[in-house]
Chain A
Amino acid sequence: MLNLFINSMLIENMVFAFFFGMCSYIAVSKSVKTALGLGAAVTFVMVMTVPLNYLLNQYVLAPNALAEGVDLSFLSFILFIAVIAAFVQLVEMIVEKFSPSLYNQLGIFLPLIAVNCAIMGGSLFMQQMVGTEINNVGDSIVYGLGSGIGWWLAIVMMAAIREKIEYSHVPAALKGPGIAFIITGLMGIAFMIFSGIQL
């Protein structure tokens, strides 16, 4: 389980190994504060939706799960995205009701999370890993947590670097997204040193 956690957080980092969640990663990594907020929200949604989708996969979608001879796996895209969208909506309503100040901080990001590829990607990878690395609900929670924290780590590091870069002389055409991409690439190369770690 620890192996799965380290693996999903560092070695197969959502951003550096699979490019998941790049859109919001590039767009929201301008200040550390907002990056922290978005990272926390993504991690939370991921910890909840990956196990939910795991249960859905085991008891409804997998071959012979719902009834003998019924294979609903072709419906997994639509059901996974429905779970994610519904969950994000729910979180939005709960946060709005109980903590308006947090809602104002996260307000813009919450709806964005539904279309964050990292969340959907987490669920789809989880589906592929059923039977090998992920065998019960606990594993799926660990996987969701590890991937979420990995994404969080990446966006906060990126935001910190971009805050520093404000004071550097970057070629005019490279400012903004251009340099962000190249830095992410270099960070990805640095993260490659984790590959092969087994616990």
Chain B
Amino acid sequence: MKLSKNFTNPLAANNPVIVQILGICSALAVTVKLEPAFVMGLSVIFVTAFSNLIMSLMRNGVPSRIRIIVQLVVIATLVIVVDQFLRAYMYDVSKQLSVYVGLIITNCIVMGRVEAFALGNKPWDSFVDGVANGIGYALILVIVAFFRELFGSGTLFGFDVLSRFGYVNNSLMLFPPMALIIVGVIIWIHRSINKDLQEK
């Protein structure tokens, strides 16, 4: 029961991106097209899940004074694994993501979940929490990328959708500021539904 709540909570009610405002840094730049957003989402799910698992297994052996360094080493190692994997098997996507794969290291979601959850909970719970927060992040990425690709290039996953209806691409959607405005609107809608999140 508790496990399933741990899993569903980060998806909507306590979403890391739109409620806790974490990990925006890398979230927006990769959302011009759906494909890189999707790959980025999967990479972050992998890193949050396994950094949570590993730190949870080590939580009793690491003195709290040096825990930040230990966390950074664990996270950086996982990110290097992801980066090398992408370069080997998905070179085009890896080129599009450029420095943003490396920036998963400084993604506050990863660090935040390790600090807030993995250091005080059992490995399996932490793993589930990591996966769920990764999915919560990926969800927002995919929603933003969906709108930006659909209205910016008229395609979805590279397949032509809108231009056959005579739609003229709005290239403003491809510029960075629109990603911010779309996230702002998502937050607006989300908080209109979940009234308890609204600030006084």
Residues of A near any B CB (own CB < 8 A): 16-23, 26-27, 74-78, 80-82, 85, 111, 114-121, 124-125, 128, 171-182, 184-189, 192
Establish whether residues A192 and B177, one from each chain, have CB atoms under 8 Å apart when the complex forms: yes
Indicate whether B83 reaches chain A with its CB closer than 8 angstroms: yes
* B 23-39 contacts with A by CB, 8 A: 23-29
A-B contact pairs, 18 of them (CB 8 A): A22-B24, A23-B21, A26-B24, A74-B83, A78-B73, A78-B80, A81-B76, A82-B72, A85-B72, A114-B72, A115-B106, A116-B106, A172-B199, A177-B21, A181-B183, A185-B178, A188-B175, A192-B177
Interface of B, secondary structure class, is helix
**Given known A-B contacts A16-B177, A85-B68, A116-B106, A173 and B198 have beta carbons under 8 A apart:** yes
Q: Which of B1-9, B56-64, B131-139, B185-193 contacts A (4 or more CB under 8 A)?
A: B185-193
Bin chain B's interface residue count: 35 or more
B171 to chain A: closest CB distance in Å? 12
**Given known A-B contacts A17-B176, A82-B72, A77 and B83 have beta carbons under 8 A apart:** yes
**Given known A-B contacts A22-B25, A23-B23, A77 and B184 have beta carbons under 8 A apart:** no
Establish whether residues B25 and A19, one from each chain, have CB atoms under 8 Å apart when the complex forms: yes
Indicate whether B79 reaches chain A with its CB closer than 8 angstroms: yes
Establish whether residues A26 and B180, one from each chain, have CB atoms under 8 Å apart when the complex forms: no
Establish whether residues A23 and B108, one from each chain, have CB atoms under 8 Å apart when the complex forms: yes
Expressed in whole angstroms, the Cα–Cα distance for A128 and B195 within the complex equals 45
Residues of B near any A CB (own CB < 8 A): 18, 21-29, 68-69, 72-73, 76-77, 79-80, 83-84, 98-99, 102-103, 105-108, 111, 175-181, 183-185, 187-189, 191-192, 195, 198-200
Residue of A nearest to B183 (CB): A181
B75 to chain A: closest CB distance in Å? 8
A23 to chain B: closest CB distance in Å? 4
Residue among B79, B189, B198 facing the most chain A CB atoms (10 A cut-off): B198
Expressed in whole angstroms, the Cα–Cα distance for A175 and B80 within the complex equals 38
Establish whether residues A178 and B188, one from each chain, have CB atoms under 8 Å apart when the complex forms: yes
Which chain A residues lie closer than 8 Å to B198 at the CB level?
Answer: 172-173, 175
Establish whether residues A74 and B84, one from each chain, have CB atoms under 8 Å apart when the complex forms: yes
